[in-house]
Structure formats: C-alpha cells, structure tokens
C-alpha cells in the first residue's frame, strides 16, 4: 500500500461523552441543572442517539425516517436529523438543542486516539500521502488544526461537500484522485464495515478498528504502519 485513507469519527478521533457534551453546552448557555436532572437528561440523550459520533438511535422517529439515512449528504440534513433526535428530550429552553449540535462541532468536543499523531507522523516521514474520507455534515478541518493533525493530511473528502456518502465509491475515488494514488495500492482505515468497506469497490484494501472510547483503544491504529510500504 502506498497511500492511506482514514475515517474521522471512531477512527482518528473520538467524540466526548454525552455527559461532557451536555455539560459543555449548558455551561456555554449559562444554564444550570441539578445533578439528578443532568443525569436523567444524559441517559435520555444517549437513548435517542442524539450525539453525533456517539451511538446510533435505538429507534428513528417517523418524522426523521426520510432524512436519517441520507443525513450526511448535506449540512442542513445533518443538523435537522440530530437536532430532531435531541428534541425528543425536554431541556430547559428550546435553544439548547441547537446549542448541543453546535457544541459537537467544536474542537473541544473531540480527542484524537492516543496513537493517531504517531501513526500520521510516521506515514508523513515515509512519504505516504494521507486522506480523510468522512460521512459528516460539517467542516472537520478546524478539529484537525486545533489538535495538530492537519499538517499530516493531504486531502479531505467530506460527504456533505460532495452530496454523497459512504459506502458510495465515488467518495473514495475522489480521495484517491486528490492524492494521485492508485486505488489498488490504497488502504482505507475505518470503524464501519459497511460504510468504509465501500472502498473495496475500487479495489482498495481495508483495515478496520474498533469504535471505542479513546482511553480504551491506545494502539488500534499502529498496525496500519505494517500494512504500508
């Protein structure tokens, strides 16, 4: 393999916990809840899958049935889908549901996996071009810049900017073209076997990591270095 594509959420970065997410949004809005109220709201938000990058909802509400499967094709759909899930949970003020969505787009809401910088730096030292291919509804570049990973990324291919989402092979093709890479010599690294596995349609190799909290996956990316020449 002579080029590598990485997924974002659950692969290079992990979103904060629902507890931290809610506390951050409440603090920014200067809204206070009791610990009991906060705990109940956290559990409810987790149950409906309201945190982007967190767990999937157990059930998608009927009013979101059309938007949910294609939510990553546009910024508007992505926001509508996730704020729609969040609004199933009563909060002290309707603006908080949008504040929660805004919070998850901030660099503070994300942490790189412990070995991400090490692996990306090693790939750069070997002269291996690297791209990020993500199903997402917002610009993640500021997250990479804030955490110091942007210098190691040669191309970003984000679903909402192209109106298509993984596993559509077009996204992987766009990334390979941006890197000047042969798909048959390109490795796609991700945590979603269906979405990221779409790269195989172009002949890319694939390597899957587990979508775990960052502290629970200290070295899941290091095997990538053994697969790349």
CA–CA–CA angle 133, 136, 107 (5° rounding): 95
Q: Which residue has the tokens 């899930």?
A: 85
Can you give the pLDDT at residue 156? 98
Give Dmax (Cα) for the chain.
Answer: 55
Can you give the pLDDT at residue 35? 96
Tell whether 116 and 25 lie within a shared domain.
Answer: no
Task: Write the pLDDT tens digit of every residue in 61-95.
Answer: 999 999 999 999 999 999 999 999 999 999 998 89
Can you give the pLDDT at residue 94? 84
Given 58, 84, 108, the domain boundary residue is 108
Q: How many domains in the chain? A: 2
The answer on pLDDT for 229 being more than 80 is no
Tell whether 122 and 93 lie within a shared domain.
Answer: no
- Domain extent at residue 161: 3-14+110-227
Closest CA to 199 of 216, 214, 209, 186: 186
Task: Tell me the average pLDDT across 192-221.
Answer: 96
Domain of 215: which CATH number? 3.40.50.1000
pTM of the predicted structure, to 2 decimals:
0.95
Task: Write the pLDDT tens digit of every residue in 18-49.
Answer: 999 999 999 999 999 999 999 999 999 999 99
Task: Tell me the average pLDDT across 125-148.
Answer: 98
Tell whether 144 and 126 lie within a shared domain.
Answer: yes
Given 72, 93, 108, the domain boundary residue is 108
Given 82, 108, 134, the domain boundary residue is 108
Task: Tell me the average pLDDT across 138-157.
Answer: 98
Tell whether 120 and 208 lie within a shared domain.
Answer: yes
Residue spans of beta strands (DSSP E) within the chain = 3-6, 13-15, 110-112, 130-134, 155-158, 186-190, 205-208
Tell whether 10 and 45 lie within a shared domain.
Answer: no
Tell whether 133 and 45 lie within a shared domain.
Answer: no
């Amino acid at each position: 393999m002579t080029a590598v594509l990485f997924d974002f959420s659950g692969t290079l970065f992990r979103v904060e916990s629902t507890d931290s997410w809610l506390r951050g949004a409440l603090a920014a809005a200067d809204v206070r809840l009791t610990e009991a109220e906060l705990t109940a709201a956290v559990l409810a938000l987790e149950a409906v899958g309201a945190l982007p990058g967190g767990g999937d909802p157990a059930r998608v509400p009927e009013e979101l049935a059309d938007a949910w499967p294609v939510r990553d094709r546009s910024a508007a759909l992505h926001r509508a889908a996730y704020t729609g899930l969040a609004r199933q949970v009563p909060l002290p003020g309707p603006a908080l549901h949008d504040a929660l969505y805004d919070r998850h787009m901030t660099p503070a809401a994300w942490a790189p996996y412990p070995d991400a910088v090490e692996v990306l730096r090693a790939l750069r030292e070997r002269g291996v071009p690297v791209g990020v291919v993500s199903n997402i509804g917002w610009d993640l570049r500021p997250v990479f810049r804030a955490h110091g990973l942007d210098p190691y990324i040669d191309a970003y291919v984000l679903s909402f900017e192209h109106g298509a989402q993984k596993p559509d092979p077009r996204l992987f093709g766009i990334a390979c073209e941006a890197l000047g890479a042969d798909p048959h010599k390109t490795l796609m690294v991700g945590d979603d076997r269906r979405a990221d596995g779409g790269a195989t349609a172009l002949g890319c190799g694939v390597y899957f990591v587990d979508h775990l909290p960052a502290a629970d996956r200290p070295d899941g990316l290091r095997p990538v270095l053994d697969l790349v020449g």
